[in-house]
Amino acid sequence: MTALESIQRSTEFLTKKGVESPRLQVELALAHLLKIPRMRLYLDFERQLQPSEVAALREMMRRRGQREPLQYILGSMSFCGLELALSPDVFIPRPETELLAEKGWEFLNASLAQGASSQTDRTPLALDVGTGSGCLAIALAFHCPQAEVFAADLSAAALELASRNAARHGTDSRIRFLHGDGFAALPEPMRFDLIVSNPPYIPSAEIAALPPEVRDHEPRQALDGGADGLDYYRRWASESASFLRADGRLMVELGAGQAGRVTEIFQAQKWIVEWVERDYNQHPRILVAHPG
């Protein structure tokens, strides 16, 4: 069977199963299997696949047809240019979270530059609450090499995966992974230049209506934000201020349509909401605030 024939047959199969963007899903899977860039497939359509490759692709398509996320099937994905291992123990990072990471490391590097100009020699400290795969913590440490990052999560399995991802990108010596519930995981009272979080923000009753890739495969504790989806924002608004340095910032990702209510939650706790950053689709996505 040629590469093109396998793509066509697999695309038809995924289409019948209701998978979105079926051709793209097949091409990504086949490129991963053949260890070549996806665009190289277009130059190798007549390539004859080995029987073992056909069997491996068929198994990948069987799993994808059962609506298992492709990222779990492949076992990895790229985040801010960094390849990260993934498993069903962790939430799959979305493109919007890359924006949170970028704003975070820009702030840390700016703080570092400001400290240098004022001759203040201080290591930037960052905290990632609910680190999951470690994507945010690793991106911050990778793009701000002077920073020291703490990353907390309730899941021991997630922390083990995050630790391996950090080691893969040479940031493990500057990230301390902590097993525990948010700020309670910290070994001692600390103050940070930056606290980041992509918290669970789906209202509990809406989880059942999510696509099966999300509802049936991603960890529920990474999705469920309580009755209205805002439980974690209330918690960060009430707890975070005492863990920030005087010129520190809190940056949190928001769900669709939540910007106004989350802003009100923080303002009620005397926070100054500096701005809400829009994502690539122009949806309000990242709230940036500091204590008033």
Task: Quote the distance between the C-alpha of residue 176 and its chain's center.
Answer: 18
Tens of pLDDT along 209-218? 999 999 999 9
Percent of the chain with pLDDT over 90: 93
37, containing H or E segment: none
The mean pLDDT value for 221-234 works out to 97
Distance between first and last Cα of the chain: 65
Does the pLDDT of residue 141 top 90, yes or no? yes
Instruction: Please name the amino acid found at residue 232.
Output: Y
**For residues 169 and 138, is the Cβ–Cβ distance under 8 A?**
yes
pLDDT 10s digits, 163-201? 999 999 999 999 999 999 999 999 988 999 999 999 999
Per-residue confidence (pLDDT) for residue 146, from 0 to 100:
94
- pTM of the complete model: 0.92
Helix (H) or strand (E) holding 266: helix 259-268
CB-CB contact of 288 with 274 (8 Å) = yes
